[in-house]
Amino acid sequence: MQAGTDVKFNVGDKAVYPAQGVAEVIKIEEKDIAGSRQRFYVLRILDTDRKIMVPVTNASAVGLRQVINEQEIREIFDILKERTIAFDNQTWNRRYRGFMDKIKTGSIYDVAEVLRDLYRLKTDKQLSFGERRMLETARGLIVKEIAVARAQTEDDVKTEIEALFVAN
């Protein structure tokens, strides 16, 4: 699911916040900001317990979106199975910036490409410290969202993803 579609959430719903991961809507509250009343989603990021407030009217603009469904999970697995890598002679910092831009889009498909590309690159050369952290971030974002979408454990999802890379 791409960020930017009009989204509505209720308390208790799971939502995905770009580059932060899966969150739960813990409440919807109103606040006076600069003289006008605004409604906010109050989100709790599942991995970090961090709380984020997102204006309801701005939710799609910041990239807040629904958790993916099974069809989208299959599309992600297809992306992970692809063998093409398009940055053979880029410097690590240029790759890093490109990967970071993709993670920030909020698109699970972009994050899947980052995971695939870094995983493939890792088999050819040693990753920089920043690239290793980014690999872990991308893996964490994907694993958490699929685990929530399928009501599976994160370990089961990690094992399934690792099997995709081993098989290819």
| Cα dihedral value 127, 133, 134, 138, nearest 10 | 120
Mean of pLDDT values over 164-168: 82
What sign does the CA torsion over 143, 149, 153, 156 have? Answer: negative
Mean of pLDDT values over 60-65: 91
Give CATH for domain 14-66. Answer: 2.40.10.170
At 153, which amino acid appears?
A: T
Residues comprising the chain, all counted: 168
Residue 3: pLDDT band (50, 70, 90) is very low
CA–CA dist 84, 86 (Å, integer): 6
Q: Which two tokens stand for residue 46?
A: 């599942």
Residue 4: pLDDT band (50, 70, 90) is very low
Residue of 78, 55, 70 whose CA lies nearest to 7: 55
Enumerate the CATH 1.20.58.1290 domain ranges in the chain, comma separated: 70-167
Mean of pLDDT values over 73-102: 84
How many Cα neighbours within 13 Å face the side chain of 126?
2
Residue 85: pLDDT band (50, 70, 90) is low
Enumerate the CATH 2.40.10.170 domain ranges in the chain, comma separated: 14-66
Q: What is the DSSP string of 132-157?
A: HHHHHHHHHHHHHHHHHHHT--HHHH
- Residues 97-153 have pLDDT tens digits of 999 999 998 899 999 999 999 998 888 888 889 899 999 999 999 999 999 999 999
CA–CA dist 22, 27 (Å, integer): 15
Tell me: pLDDT of 34 over 90: no
Q: Are 51 and 153 in contact (CB under 8 A)?
A: no
70-167 carries CATH number 1.20.58.1290: yes
Q: Which residue has the higher pLDDT, 143 or 86?
A: 143
